[in-house]
Amino acid sequence: MNSLSPRQRILDKLRAAQVKPMVCPDAAAFYTSSADDQATRVERLMLNMKNAMAEVHRTSASALAQCLSQICQEKEVQSIAVGPELLADAGLCDALAQQAQVLPVTSCRTDQPALFNTVDVGLTLAHGGIAETGTLVLWSGEQSPRLLSLVPPIHIAILHASRVVESLMAMITKENWAAGLPTNVILVSSPSKTADIQQTLAYGAHGPKHLVVVLVEDR
């Protein structure tokens, strides 16, 4: 009769087991870069965004202000929140002011009431885009408060075509994210949506109901 306790028998088996060394997966090999050129990546990004119910506009740097003004006019925007990063562009803000009230957002703490109650649009400058998933990458901080992309019912994001990469891994590697990151990195792949209740898809439950991406050609 075995006099060892169940606990001791389990421990003995664990000690006697042959431990195989854990082999870490080769993430770099899995995420090998595709042969797509930049133009193809941009087209794939736009297609994936549109499939996820985002509205995408393509424009040049010189026509950006006009494009944004037209979007605001079409959507009957009354007020638009802009962070310090874009407030520095006086020409852009002047053009927006012709269509809507421009609310400078310099502090999420002091500007929260307006963001939650009166602002129609939050305008952001995207850090980059991921073609594989049709995703915007936003870096939040003092120059770009994160509430701009999370609270107003419409989120308009400006994305430069040169900032589009193949995959998240490609961006992490290229920019050496391991060396440091902002307080928040926000990945946006569609308007806010949920199907929690009776599996009925609803937009705007946890954030902006509409996502508008303005893709700026750099050449």
Domain span holding position 148: 35-217
| Residue 49 counted as domain residue | yes
| Residue 151 counted as domain residue | yes
| Residue 137 counted as domain residue | yes
Number of structural domains the chain divides into: 1
Name which of 67-81, 168-182, 191-205 the model is least confident about. 191-205
| Residue 15 counted as domain residue | no
User: What average pLDDT does the chain have?
Assistant: 90
| Residue 120 counted as domain residue | yes
Q: Is the pLDDT of residue 1 over 60?
A: no
**Position with higher pLDDT, 18 vs 35:** 18
Q: What is the pLDDT of residues 90-106, one digit of tens each?
A: 999 999 999 999 999 87
| Residue 160 counted as domain residue | yes
Q: Is the pLDDT of residue 115 over 90?
A: no
| Residue 26 counted as domain residue | no
Q: Is the pLDDT of residue 157 over 70?
A: yes
Q: Is the pLDDT of residue 187 over 60?
A: yes
User: Using alpha carbons only, how large is the chain's radius of gyration in Å?
Assistant: 23
**Position with higher pLDDT, 194 vs 65:** 65
| Residue 80 counted as domain residue | yes
pLDDT grade, residue 15 (50/70/90)? confident
Q: What is the pLDDT of residues 49-93, one digit of tens each?
A: 999 999 999 999 999 999 999 999 999 999 999 999 999 999 999
Residue 118 confidence (pLDDT): 87
**Position with higher pLDDT, 26 vs 42:** 42
Q: What is the CATH number of the domain that holds 115?
A: 3.40.50.10420
